[in-house]
Every structure is written in structure tokens, then in C-alpha cells.
Amino acid sequence: MASDNKLRRTMESASLDLERFLPYRLSVLSNTVSTAIAQTYSTRYGLSIPEWRVIAVLERFPGISAAEVAERTAMDKVAVSRAVSRLLKSNRIRRNFADADRRRSILDLSASGKRLYQRIAPMLLRYESALLSALDASERQQLDAILQRLADRASHLGRAEED
């Protein structure tokens, strides 16, 4: 009990070293990688990062709703909604309604959306390969395992906060 109180007081009085704070570092890395990768498709194909993510998710999971896209990408529902609207206008995706529940819309890539995915995905895979070339095979396996453990833990901590 006394050690718990001491730890709590230490944590309350500690200053946050932002450059060493893992959530900040992961966010900066994610933004850096996403921005660099987006240069691959934004200029040439006029896609934003959220639009590409919607396309990529629909290629992998056709026939899901915008809410499910938001859930799978951890993107804000408003960002997904805007991306879906732009992709519908540009005929890169299609919207249909579920037979069982006409209020539920389902999304799929159109033929042009599929062609776009087939052009962009190989470029992004090359970028990923170049990025990961900084690590040897063992380090790549470790990184994958560590990322999975952190994702699982973050999910668990998020659920604990809800209780």
C-alpha cells in the first residue's frame, strides 16, 4: 500500500519528456510514414490519406459499412464519411443497401477503385520494404511481436478505462 502511494506521488510529480513519451513517438512516426507514403498516391491520383485507407480496407473487406471502415482503421467517423463521399463522387466506390436492413449501407470498390488499388498497392509495398530494410529479419519479427503486444495492451487498457 505504501509503495503504491509512493509510485502514485512520483508519477504525479514527474514531468513528461515528450520526445521520450511512447504515444507521442508512435504518433510522430505514424504521421511521418503516412505523409511520406501519401506522396506516392496523392499527387498522381488525387487521393487523401483517409481516402486511400477506405480503398485499402474495402479491397480487403468488401461489403462493409462506413462505420466498420472507421472501426477497422481507427479513423474518426467524420473523416471516413468525408472520404466515402469523395470516393462516391469520383466513382471509386459504390454504395448499396443491405437487403435485410435498408437503412444499412454497404460499400464496395468500383471497377475504377479496384484498378486504382492495383496501381497503388505495389508502390506502397515497395515503400514498406525499403522502410523495413533498416531492420534485419530477427528485428522485423521482434517489431511485429512488440507492435501486436502493445496493440493488445492498449486495447485492454482502453476497455479498463470504460469500466
The full set of domains in the chain, from first to last, is 19-132 (1.10.10.10)
- Local confidence band at 104 (pLDDT 50, 70, 90 cut-offs): confident
What is the pLDDT, as a whole number, of residue 163?
A: 54
Q: Which residue carries 485499402 as its cell?
A: 56
Beta bridge partners, 95, equal: 107
What pTM does this model have?
0.82
Return the SS3 of 21: coil
| pLDDT on residue 9 | 62
Q: Give the mean pLDDT of the chain.
A: 90
pLDDT one-digit tens code per residue, 57-98: 999 999 999 999 999 999 999 999 999 999 999 999 999 987
C-alpha cell at 79: 473523416
Tell me what pLDDT residue 13 has: 61
Share of the chain above pLDDT 70, in %: 87
Residue written as grid cell 477497422: 72
DSSP string, 70-102: HHHHT--HHHHHHHHHHHHHTTSEEEEE-SS-T
- Supply φ then ψ for residue 97, to 5 degrees: -115, 140
